Chain A
Amino acid sequence: MVKSVLKRDGRRVDFNNQKIVAAILKAMNVTDGGEDIVLAAQIAQAISELDKDVMTVEEIQEVVENHLMNSPRQEVAKEYIRYRNKRNIARKAKSNEIFETIIQAQSNDITRENANMNADTPAGMMMKFASEATKSYVDECLLSDPVREAVAGNYIHIHDKDYYPTKSLTCIQHPLDLILEHGLKAGHGESRPAKRIETASVLACISMETVQNEMHGGQAIPAFDFYLAPFVRKTYEEEIDKLSELANEDYSELKSADIDDYLKHELTGLQGKERARQHAINQTVGRVHQAMEAFVHNMNTIHSRGGNQVVFSSINYGTDTSAEGRCIIREILNTTYEGVGNGSTAIFPIQIWKKKRGVSYLPEDPNYDLYKFACKVSARRFFPNFLNLDASYNQDDAWKADDPKRYEHEVATMGCRTRVYGNKFGPKTSIGRGNLSFTTINIVKLAIEAANESPDKEKRIQVFFQKLDWALDIAARQLNERFDFQKTALKKQFPLLMAGLWLGSEKLDDEDSIESVINQGTLSIGFIGLAECLIALVGKHHGESEEAQDLGLRIVSHMAEKINGYAETYQHNFTFLATPAEGLSGKFTKRDKKTFGVLPGITDKDYYTNSSHVPVYYKCTPEHKAKIEGPYHKYENAGHIFYVEVDGDATHNPEAIMRIVDLMDKYDIGYGSVNHNRNRCMDCGYENAEKDLRECPHCHGHHIDTLQRITGYLVGTTERWNAGKLAELKDRVVHE
């Protein structure tokens, strides 16, 4: 007996005889013979009695056609087939329409799905075509039935679904020391190990740019300062050699000289070896600065993915207290403060300050001076963001102050927030690891359904938790299915990534599958819209009601617990993400609005609030926001972020940035950053923080570029933002 029908969009509906009868009658009506209700009913009946539980629409149509062909009314079969073809063409036309919006470089949510990608260039268009085409292939061929239904039902969202068929993994923290010490092979080029800072910084770029094409997410360097520090020393030594040769003197003993700090000084008054030493330091600082400038410039200009996307790059630094490490930190910060080109804010890499008590935070810490400068830079350039190594869940007992490789025990983050740290199948570290794939649950829809089912609050919450468990199970199942598909990929499909960058990959042969090593990565379940979910359940969000906050924490801790359980069930590193949801911000909402109508506080906007954030429209002090959002971070072990919107011109008040980091320290917040307005006149370079600036107060030009942050990434013009994100931007209020 056929019980249900699987529709083309993945939805499963109850089997209904009458629909088949109606379709056959429609075809009969356009023939001379007219209707034959008995024959139509007989065919429908025969189908319903087939020995199958589920049939697809296509399968049913095949059977109807066969029955008609074998009946006295063959002319009806012809009409039926003609109608079916017409419908197929119409459906195809819809995907052609999507292609046409890409061709015409129209601005819509398809072409603006990713704010960092220029879908208007030929290479960008090509990628968009491929992306749109693979999505339906994935739906039809790669997803299991319950998963497809959950996606079609707007319950879950599979991130980077267009990349699903490629078996690619999401992201990685590069163990750059391997590349720098052993060189690399990429494309047609091969490079020797680095000997000086210029080469080292270029190799860092090439490593990220190459691996970007072997993955679908971001590329990060977990300890930028530690990795590059040795090449500062090598550069200094090279300068000493040059001077020895020039002066025909033996300065070689200077090569092992202790250097407290690489700071430029005038040579006036210095003689002999002292002069040579200081000159070499001055030259070294200059070269390191140039190398950092080149690095930043490269990261912003080389569209290495498909010719249309720069690397989603991130660098973590701040904890190397050696003179050489400090030189790297100081010069990358100087470069960032000055800006690229004529002084524009660099969009990439996302920079992350590793804040650690005793190292890079307190006034008595060795890197306190650079921390203070980092806050100034952030006030002007949005970066660095701040990663709190002191958060209870970010600490590691294996960290020792005198261990030269202590960075291996420091958590590092992708700029967007993705965090990979704990490991059930290997060492606890961020390095050489990354996320494998993400899937996000629409908890708002679950809450609306629960509310519709029960007017009683307690009952409603109980129903919600049941639905939540169902959605979590589906998401875990889906991630596991994708893992099973990903693991069939061969090492040779990822020539650089799997040549030793990914933890354990060095021992694989070209024809080996990656199965044995990818369990080092994480499968992450995320969520968005806790605020709207709580409004649906108890009438208020967690920023404004203690009851809502208690329930919010109950929901999130419950999810964390379930997700930890999947790690045992499936034997993978399952983790829990506070989803950034760039492309997702409006997608869930738009469909829920269609289903449920406009619900005040829930579907009355064009977006759902990011993960466990307090809504952007809610006005409160930064400390209140920290107090509410902080407790969620320890559960969200796949990544989280805390934002504060600064009122006024942040460059006037760099100390406020330090206070925001203090909030992170106080409320056990893992990762955070500061949002503010930054206008730049593209004609004269004037900058300020005025809201909605249209005309430059200096040169009266109208080419104003306003920088904003979108899911952790900076975006200059908002032209590439999708509708949901734009609506969210409009609602953002400052915290005071």
Chain B
Amino acid sequence: MKIRVLDIIPQTMADGPGFRTAIYCAGCSHKCPGCHNPQSWSFQAGEWLDVEELLEIIKADEMSNVTFSGGDPFFQVEGFTELARRIKEETDKTIWCWTGFTIEQIEASPRLAKMLPYLDVLVDGPFILSQRDTDLQFRGSANQRILYLHSAPPVDYIPGTVQTAYAYV
């Protein structure tokens, strides 16, 4: 199984909590106006990489969890589901996945929903320029949501300390 990959960013601190190996895939049909990454829209961009190769890269980094982004990973749902399943089976890494679909749309499609059991967090929804807010944690516009799929969002209250703007997630 192969995935068309635009870029792999090792140990990024901008795509989810902690350090993450971010797999940026090629291809996105949402084409949101104001997208910060329009070069990723083309399905011909980047190169084919085997799930096996990607898994090696992810495993080699002891400190990093995993991020799927793009592009939209759900346009290559078979490949990413395979990769996500292998990550969950063979490592204890968490997976954060960004998509332009909403979770409702994904759940309504048996084909797309196949990936959900393997993802820890889904950051959903298209980028809507009129709702752009650069202060949002890991999101571009206010309609987008950070959804914990299999657990409650972590509570991060440290007794006696002032409330911070962003929690450990």
Contact = CB atoms under 8 A, between A and B. Distances in A.
Contacts of B61: 623
A736 B13 contact: yes
A653 B18 contact: yes
A656 B19 CA distance: 6
B166 A654 contact: yes
B152 interface: no
Contact of B14 (A369, A662, A697, A736): A736
A621 interface: yes
A652 B158 contact: no
A656 B160 contact: no
Interface in B131-169: 134-135, 137-138, 158-162, 164-166, 168-169
A373 B156 CA distance: 10
Contacts of A659: 18-19, 63
A619 B158 CA distance: 35
Interface stretch (B4-12, B42-50, B73-81, B83-91): B4-12
A672 to B, nearest CB: 15
A686 to B, nearest CB: 9
Contact of A264 (B13, B160, B164, B166): B160
Interface in A681-698: 688, 690, 697
Contacts of B16: 653
A261 B161 contact: no
Nearest to B161: A373
Interface in B22-81: 61, 63
A380 B162 CA distance: 13
A735 B12 CA distance: 8
A653 B11 contact: no
Contacts of A690: 134
B18 A658 contact: yes
B19 A622 contact: yes
A123 interface: no
A652 B137 contact: yes
9 contacts: A261-B159, A338-B162, A622-B11, A623-B19, A647-B14, A648-B12, A652-B166, A653-B18, A736-B14
A265 to B, nearest CB: 10
B11 A735 contact: yes
- What size tier do the contact residues of chain B reach? 20 to 34
A695 to B, nearest CB: 13
B164 A376 contact: yes
Contacts of A261: 159-160
Interface stretch (A329-337, A480-488, A523-531, A557-565): A329-337
A372 B168 contact: yes
Contacts of B138: 652
Given A653-B14, A656-B13, A736-B13, A337 B159 contact: no
B96 to A, nearest CB: 12
A646 interface: yes
Contacts of A338: 162
Interface residues of A, number: 39
A621 B18 contact: no
Given A622-B19, A623-B63, A653-B18, A333 B161 contact: yes
A80 B140 CA distance: 77
A690 B132 CA distance: 15
A373 B63 contact: no
Contacts of B162: 334, 337-338
A138 to B, nearest CB: 46
B57 to A, nearest CB: 12
Contacts of A688: 134-135
Nearest to B169: A655
Interface string A529-559: 0000000000000000000000000000000
Interface string A216-228: 0000000000000
A599 interface: no
B160 A655 contact: no
B159 A653 contact: no
Contacts of B166: 651-654
A663 interface: yes
A369 B159 contact: yes
Given A655-B18, A662-B63, A330 B160 contact: yes
B128 to A, nearest CB: 17
Nearest to A375: B168
A262 B161 CA distance: 11
Given A647-B12, A736-B13, A654 B159 contact: no
Contact of B17 (A262, A370, A653): A653
Contact of B168 (A264, A650, A654, A662): A654
Contacts of A57: none
A369 B157 CA distance: 9
A736 B18 contact: no
Contact of A373 (B134, B158, B165, B169): B158
Nearest to B22: A736
Contacts of A37: none
A328 B103 CA distance: 46
A373 B159 CA distance: 10
Most A Cβ at <10 Å: residue of B19, B134, B135:
B19
Nearest to A658: B18
A656 B17 contact: yes
A654 B19 contact: no
Given A622-B13, A736-B9, A736-B12, 13 more contacts: A330-B161, A333-B161, A337-B162, A338-B162, A373-B158, A646-B13, A648-B14, A649-B14, A653-B14, A653-B18, A655-B17, A656-B18, A659-B19
A339 to B, nearest CB: 11
B160 A621 contact: no
A261 B160 CA distance: 9
Contacts of B137: 652
